[in-house]
Amino acid sequence: MSGSYKIGSLAKASGVSVETLRFYEKQGLLPEPKRSESGYRLYPESARNQVEFILRAKAVGFSLKDIAGLLDLEVNREQETCQTVKRFAEEKLMEIENKIQELQQMRTALKQITDACCGGPLPASHCTILTALADGHPDKEKQHATY
């Protein structure tokens, strides 16, 4: 069959593992390929394009569930509008913005409790980081100077 890939050659051409291709197939992200007479999976050239689409979508933050939705939009390009696709992308962007805000809050809180710790040789029973995590706040009295 010309213009087709066995799973190993598709994996190599796409830069993913054979296991990844099988996983994508099980998740419905890749259509089930035809089989050779000897049972080998034979993927068309379009499968390579689809794997590259999946990888690019993952690289900008889309989950595999999101990618399934994007692939549906891709397949139905003529019936869908740019507005639908943009809304889909904007929702993901908002999700990423929210995660960034959460991570910044986590960073600030972790920096505060880390800065409060002397990092010295005293036993961890005096550690302000553990105290802050156990009690919800660093105990100012237990802060120690670095020795």
What is residue 118's predicted lDDT score, i.e. its pLDDT? 86
141 HSE (CA, 13 A, CB side): 0
The strand order across the sheet containing 34-35 reads 4-6, 41-44, 34-35
Is residue 27 pLDDT above 50, yes or no? yes
Is residue 99 pLDDT above 50, yes or no? yes
Top pLDDT among 2 and 66 is at 66
Is residue 3 pLDDT above 90, yes or no? no
